[in-house]
Amino acid sequence: MSRYPKREHSGDRQIKAPENIVRDSTKERIAMFFCLVPVFGLIPSAITLVRQRSSRKAVEISKVSIALVLGWAIAYGVMGGVPIEGESVQVTSELVKASLSSGYFAICLYLMYRLHRNKDISLPSIKKDST
């Protein structure tokens, strides 16, 4: 005799997948990563928004990416953009612009990390639809 009880029906036990985990296709995940590439991610983001077959998550990431690019471009433009030859370079202005650009790149890399970990990607100022 065995110490372990026999199972009556081995087919009754099935492993259930968690219901709240949504897996994206590989192609869609790569497209979402391209949307978060600093500056150049504007093109895939615009394509994703124009396409009507994109998932809700891809559309949200595209909106975040476009908001970041526009925010960075406006702030960089307000700071004076690229200095013209012969213009005296002010260290403070250039330091602020460099910090702004570095912060933008760091935020994009952080959002890529969150996408890799299947975490929520959003900006505090962009509210999600409750529908």
- Torsion of the alpha carbons at 58, 64, 69 and 75, rounded to the nearest 10: 180
65, 122 Cβ separation under 8 angstroms: no
Global pTM reads 0.70
Residue 8 has which token pair?
Answer: 């009556």
| Residue 31 amino acid letter | A
d(CA 13, CA 107): 45
Residue 99 has which token pair?
Answer: 């910090």
Residue 80 pLDDT grade (very low, low, confident, very high; cuts 50, 70, 90): confident
Q: Is the dihedral of CA 117, 38, 63, 71 positive or negative?
A: positive
Average pLDDT over residues 64-78: 92
Looking at residue 84, the DSSP 8-state letter turns out to be P
Domain ranges of the chain: 25-116
Comparing 41-50, 61-70, 115-124, the range with the smallest average pLDDT is 115-124
